[in-house]
Structures are given as C-alpha cells and as structure tokens.
Amino acid sequence: MAARRRKLRSGTVLLGGMGVLAATLTACGSEPDRRCVDPVTQEVLPDYQCDDDDSTSSGRYYYGGRVSDGKVTDGSFDKSAVDRGGFGSSGSGGG
C-alpha cells in the first residue's frame, strides 16, 4: 500500500509541474498590458478615447508599467520598447 501512495504523489507532482510550465509559456507569449492614456498628463482614460478610427481621439495606448493614483509609470507608448519578461524579471520597460 505504501508503494501505491508514492506513485500517486509522484503523479500529483508531475501534474503540478506541468501546470507551472503551462503558466510560464503563456506568460512569456502574451502581450504587455495596454491602457488608454493622456500623453501629456499620463492619466488613464477610457478605452474609447484611444479609438484609432477617430481623428479626435485624445489618448494613446500605453504598454506595460503600472497605475498609481490614476497615472501610469514604468511603461512606454512604444509597444516594442516593453519587455514582457518571465519568472525573475520585473517585466517593465523604458519610457
């Protein structure tokens, strides 16, 4: 009976490890966070204010970074400048 318990535990460890691997691959292949932001004030705006088809749009998309008090930092308006990173990296880009 002890051998049966060991086998069950090793199967559980294997399945848990596969879940971690899947999460890692998903995180590395995903797009950076994107927010609509006023380019002058750095304030987060509703998505409709970044509509690419509207010439009166007041916002631009800002990639990565974080939001504090309604303003963005540590990201970039240039999507290619944002490094998504993986485990052990900060995931922030230059701005």
Could you report the per-residue pLDDT of 28-80, keeping only the tens digit for each? Answer: 557 788 999 999 999 999 988 987 665 667 899 999 999 999 999 999 999 88
CB 51 within 8 A of CB 61: no
Q: What angle do CA 32, 33, 39 make, to 5 degrees?
A: 110
Task: Report if pTM > 0.95.
Answer: no
Q: What are phi and psi of 67, to 5 degrees?
A: -110, 130
